Amino acid sequence: MGFFDFLKGPDINEGVAAYSGTPGAVLLDVRTEEEYRSGHIPGSVLLPLQSLNRVDTVAAGKQTPLFVYCHSGARALQAASYLKHQGYSSVTNIGGIIRYRGKVVISS
């Protein structure tokens, strides 16, 4: 590992693969509705950062595996910290969609 590798943050592509292989997992997009409509990862659920207090509407319980992403990774980091503080035991920050190489869904 190089000196600056810690600056790169999580690899969203690896995170999406981990999400796909985790039964019962929820993929949370914590961006704004406008950002979500402009392109999101298939299967993701929009729950903007400012609405995280409603996470219980998308997670079956505190043990539900949650994989969180945003645009660059900063909001996902905040969301993951908040969710862990709220008692969610399996929260993974997978970073920012700007590094995602897979298919995205565009909504109107």
- pLDDT tens for 27-72 read 999 999 999 999 999 999 999 999 999 999 999 999 999 999 999 9
Tokens of 89: 């035991």
- Residue 1: pLDDT band (50, 70, 90) is very low
pTM for the model stands at 0.92
The alpha-helical segments, DSSP class H, found in 11-96 are 12-20, 33-38, 74-85
Q: Is 54 part of a structural domain of the chain? A: yes
Q: Is 105 part of a structural domain of the chain? A: no
Helix (H, G, I), strand (E, B) or coil at 100: coil
Q: Is 33 part of a structural domain of the chain? A: yes
CATH of the domain at 84: 3.40.250.10
Q: Is 104 part of a structural domain of the chain? A: no
Q: Is 4 part of a structural domain of the chain? A: no
Q: Which amino acid is at 33?
A: E
Q: Which of 59, 70, 80, 94 is catalytic?
A: 70
Structural domain harbouring 20: 9-63+75-99
State how many domains the chain has: 1
Question: What pLDDT does residue 108 have?
Answer: 75
Question: What pLDDT does residue 9 have?
Answer: 79
> Does residue 70 have an active-site annotation?
yes
